[in-house]
């Protein structure tokens, strides 16, 4: 059921993303229509201004015609005709502008209607998503309760079975030892009888009664041992079957645990989407490739880090700090919750985007929070730096180091022990980083979450 719900959740998220893209496209087209409307309005204002000027000139000409009618009646009439002609042209232009304005208003109303419809679809998708998340929460609770009771009962039963199996094995060993002893005595008795018969030293009636009695007792003891061995074998078979059943139940619990992991991942993803949506909606696809999804990125990163601090133990880490604009926000969050920020960057002249002065700017930015910042001025690929990071408990990691496939993948592996969310920057414009993000998710077995309007991607943990 959890797998089905998770599939429906993925479909709902896909539908929401498509709706969001359609809404962004509609907003862009609406913006273009509004600009066109403003241009038409400006053109209309110009036409109206010209019309007023023409009316004013016509009024002046009429006054002038009344004063100088006797002297230049012919010239006034000619100028009046020209003015009337110009006025007619202006009125035609005005009618065209009004017609164009009417068409533009119709297009605008159509886009507004489409936008309202798209917004309604988006709200409906969000309601469905919320409903699926509630169903997932319920499934998670049921699975957790079932797994807890079944696991304890099965462990107890498995322990008892192991104990019985151990006791049966000891008993079987003792039986085999007794059997070996009896078999030895039997062989010795048979050998003695064989010697007696071969030599013919005595008749059958003269055989030592003690030897015959011992032989009969040995045969009887051998029979009892064989019966005991059969019972032991039956017990071993029964315990073996019981152990196989226990293993089958353990596999079932493993399957339930996988379902719980899926539900847990969906739970974390739901909260992550809730954090990301408000900031993503104001992003733009029209920006330059390396600036897409950057308007509210630092705010997003800080909010995700705060969510991780509330949910998991450990500190924050940023690989690739540059001038410290994001570091400052992460350090503020760390200080608020009495955690620490690990800032890992070589700040070495000539490395990626480092032209000098970046480290000094970084120190200036984190000055108010320097007491909670642990600076590691080494490459994230340095073995010493890797050892230092792996020795720290982490609840959130932001990977923004060297933008090559191997380096980014190595950084992801370095922070793989992070209990919370791992954010990886610049997926939108760097193909090597995007490939490392995909491969890293596969290696450290995490779910992926990234949006077309979100510059970074997120690796979501399972329980």
Over residues 87-91, the mean pLDDT reads 71
Provide the pLDDT for residue 342.
98
The two structure tokens encoding residue 55: 């009316």
Reduce the DSSP state of residue 460 to 3 states and report it.
strand
The two structure tokens encoding residue 61: 């000409």
The two structure tokens encoding residue 449: 């979450």
The two structure tokens encoding residue 254: 């493993």
Split at pLDDT 50, 70, 90, the class of 174 is confident
Provide the pLDDT for residue 390.
97
- Tens-digit pLDDT profile for residues 98-112: 676 666 566 556 656
> Residue 426: which region, alpha, beta or left (left: phi > 0; alpha: psi -120 to 50)?
left
- Tens-digit pLDDT profile for residues 349-378: 878 888 889 999 999 999 999 999 999 999
Strands (E) in 232-356, as ranges, are 315-319, 341-344
Choose between 189 and 321: higher pLDDT. Answer: 321
Give the C-alpha distances (Å, rounded to integers) separating 384 from 259, 377, 379. Answer: 38, 11, 9
Split at pLDDT 50, 70, 90, the class of 267 is confident
Over residues 256-269, the mean pLDDT reads 77
The pTM (predicted TM-score) of the whole model is 0.52
The mean of the pLDDT values for the chain is: 79
pLDDT tops 70 at residue 23: no
pLDDT tops 60 at residue 305: yes
- Tens-digit pLDDT profile for residues 197-251: 666 544 445 556 766 777 677 777 777 777 777 777 777 778 778 777 777 777 7
Closest CA to 94 of 38, 56, 55, 50: 50
């Amino acid at each position: 059921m959890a797998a089905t719900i998770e599939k429906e959740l993925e479909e709902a998220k896909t539908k929401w993303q498509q709706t969001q893209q359609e809404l962004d496209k509609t907003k862009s087209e609406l913006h273009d229509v509004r600009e066109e409307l403003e241009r038409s309005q400006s053109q209309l204002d110009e036409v109206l201004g010209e019309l007023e000027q023409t009316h004013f000139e016509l009024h002046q000409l009429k006054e002038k015609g009344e004063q100088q009618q006797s002297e230049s009646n012919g010239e006034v009439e000619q100028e009046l005709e020209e003015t009337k002609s110009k006025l007619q042209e202006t009125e035609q232009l005005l009618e065209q502008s009004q017609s164009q304005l009417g068409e533009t208003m119709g297009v605008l109303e159509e886009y507004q209607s489409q936008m309202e419809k798209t917004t309604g679809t988006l709200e409906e998708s969000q309601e469905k998503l919320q409903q699926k998340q509630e169903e997932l929460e319920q499934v998670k609770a049921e699975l957790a309760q079932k797994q807890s009771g079944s696991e304890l009962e099965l462990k107890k039963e498995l322990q008892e079975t192991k104990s019985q199996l151990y006791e049966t094995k000891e008993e079987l060993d003792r039986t085999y030892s007794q059997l070996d002893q009896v078999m030895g005595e039997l062989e010795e008795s048979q050998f003695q009888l064989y010697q007696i018969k071969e030599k013919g030293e005595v008749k059958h009636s003269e055989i030592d009664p003690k030897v015959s009695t011992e032989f009969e007792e040995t045969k009887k003891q051998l029979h009892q041992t064989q019966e005991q061995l059969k019972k032991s074998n039956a017990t071993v078979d029964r315990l073996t079957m019981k152990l196989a059943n226990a293993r089958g139940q353990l596999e079932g619990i493993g399957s339930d645990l996988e379902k719980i992991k899926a539900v847990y991942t969906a739970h974390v993803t739901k909260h992550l989407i809730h954090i990301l949506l408000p900031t993503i909606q104001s992003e733009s696809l029209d920006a330059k490739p390396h600036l897409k999804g950057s308007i509210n990125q630092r705010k997003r990163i800080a909010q995700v880090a705060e969510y991780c601090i509330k949910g998991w133990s450990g500190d924050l880490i940023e690989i690739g700090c540059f001038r410290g604009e994001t570091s400052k926000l992460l350090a503020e969050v760390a200080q608020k919750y009495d955690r620490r920020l690990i800032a890992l960057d070589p700040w070495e002249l000539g490395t990626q985007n480092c032209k000098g002065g970046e480290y000094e700017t970084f120190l200036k930015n984190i000055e108010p929070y320097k007491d909670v910042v642990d600076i590691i001025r080494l490459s994230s690929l340095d073995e010493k730096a890797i050892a230092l990071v792996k020795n720290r408990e982490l609840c959130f990691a932001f990977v923004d180091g060297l933008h090559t496939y191997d380096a980014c993948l190595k950084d992801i592996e370095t922070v793989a022990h992070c209990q919370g969310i791992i954010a990886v920057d610049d997926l939108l414009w760097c193909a090597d980083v995007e490939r490392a993000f995909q491969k890293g998710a596969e290696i450290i077995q995490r779910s992926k979450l990234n949006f077309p309007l979100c510059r970074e991607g997120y690796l979501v943990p399972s329980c």
